[in-house]
Amino acid sequence: CVGGEEIVMKKYPNVTWSWCAAHVFNLLLEDMCGHKKIVVDESGLNPFKVIFKRLRWIVKAVSSSQKLSAIFVRKSAYKKLLNPNATRFATNFLMAQRALELRRPLQEMVIDDKWQSYRERLPVRGKTVGHMTRAKAEELKQWIQQDAFWAQVKSTVNFFILLVKMLCEFDGDSPQSVW
């Protein structure tokens, strides 16, 4: 998209340049997901930003720990959580949609005996920022088990689904498509 403008304009100076609709629409989706205050609630905050931030934390915690990943894979052998990816369109939506799909395996993971063993072996205090501690593991478990959180995730997915379908139409069959 971006690099193509210069090439086209040199070869065809009379052509009017316009941005790729799929790229522009994806940028709008990213902004709506929390990067900008396009969507705001009564308090002036973007309601999606908190949801996506929490989901990224859950996905990162499970994906970056070999022990948690091993427990999770026993509960969901066929599907993995999706990490947000800067090169993929609608990345936050896809992460939320997959997490919602894998809600039950996530919830089964945090009540498994191996989870309890994992949590008990964690340090009370982290050695560095971002290290998993018992308190963070307990917070992770609470968020995963919280019905209200999953209701918000479902509402978020429902809000974005038609917009993402429009993006699919704009994007067509490009190699970047994950539809």
The pair of three-digit structure tokens given for residue 3, joined into one six-digit string? 């690099």
Report yes or no: 68 and 61 within 8 Å, Cβ to Cβ.
yes
State the residue for tokens 């019905």: 147
- pLDDT tens digit at each of 179 positions of the chain: 556 677 777 888 887 766 777 777 777 777 777 766 677 778 877 888 889 999 999 999 999 999 999 999 999 988 999 988 765 678 888 899 999 999 999 999 999 999 999 999 998 886 666 688 999 999 999 999 999 999 999 999 998 888 888 877 777 655 555 54
The confidence score (pLDDT) of residue 6 equals 77
Q: How far apart are CA 113 and CA 96, in angstroms?
A: 27
Q: Where are the beta strands (DSSP E) in the chain?
A: none
Report yes or no: 25 and 166 within 8 Å, Cβ to Cβ.
yes
Q: How far apart are CA 57 and CA 62, in angstroms?
A: 9
pTM of the predicted model, to two decimals?
0.78
Q: How far apart are CA 108 and CA 145, in angstroms?
A: 9
The pair of three-digit structure tokens given for residue 85, joined into one six-digit string? 């990816």
Q: How far apart are CA 88 and CA 65, in angstroms?
A: 23
Q: How far apart are CA 52 and CA 48, in angstroms?
A: 6
